[in-house]
Amino acid sequence: MAQSPNYTMEFKKYAAFGKLKIARELLEEPGRRVHLTGRITVLEEAKAVGAQAFDTPANAEGTNSLSSALLSTTELVSLAGGLPTLPWPNPIPGHGMFTVWLSIDRSGRVREAHSLNSDESGIAADMSAQLVGRQWKPYVKDGLPVQSEGALVFAYPPEQH
């Protein structure tokens, strides 16, 4: 298993490949009630692959389009224009806090939101799902918008203003 704040991957059904054992099934749950399974059905030795197959093409951009900037909670709140307001259940189950790990694309759209920890796990999962799809300001680094990720912390019940 490989685990980080923004994903967990399980490796199963190992089989021999030369001197190695290779996982033939990869499992990930990117969101609530979403289960992804990857299966390796054919694994062959690459016999006629030269070093040029791994060269970066001459027309490739100078930046890594898959990179993601790790942002502080303060930076995330700034991109959102303040701590996001969420429709809370009624009644709110007690008092506590929960943390949400967010992934935001280059256009500023929240693509993923996973609850990390909570005083009440049910509320954390339900509230986290409400953040997906929201539009924020994109994070800009060196003059270019980049993907970003980080943690937001919500206290409940929310303060009344």
83-135: per-residue pLDDT in tens? 888 888 888 777 888 899 999 999 999 999 988 877 776 788 888 889 999 99
- The H-or-E segment that residue 121 falls in is helix 121-129
Q: How far apart are CA 138 and CA 145, in angstroms?
A: 6
Domain boundaries, the chain: 2-43, 68-156
Q: Half-sphere exposure (CA, 13 Å, Cβ side) for 122?
A: 5
pLDDT value at 53 more than 80: no
Look at residue 36 in the predicted model and tell me its pLDDT: 85
Partners of 12 in beta bridges: 25
Q: How far apart are CA 150 and CA 161, in angstroms?
A: 26
Pick 68-156's CATH classification: 3.30.43, 1.10.1740, 1.20.1270, 3.30.1150.
3.30.1150
CA distances from 152 to 58, 77, 85, 95 (A): 40, 8, 12, 17
pLDDT value at 25 more than 90: yes
E-strand ranges in 52-143 read: 68-70, 96-104, 110-118, 139-141
- Percentage of residues in the chain with pLDDT exceeding 70? 86
pLDDT higher at 64 or 148: 148
Counting other chains too, the contacts that 137-140 makes at CB distance below 8 Å and 24 or more residues apart are 137/78, 137/79, 137/80, 137/81, 137/108, 138/79, 138/104, 138/106, 138/107, 138/108, 139/69, 139/71, 139/75, 139/79, 139/104, 139/108
Look at residue 126 in the predicted model and tell me its pLDDT: 82
pLDDT value at 153 more than 70: yes
* Secondary structure letter of residue 32 according to DSSP: T
Look at residue 32 in the predicted model and tell me its pLDDT: 65
Arithmetic mean of pLDDT, 143-156: 90
Residue 26: count of CB within 10 angstroms of its CB: 16
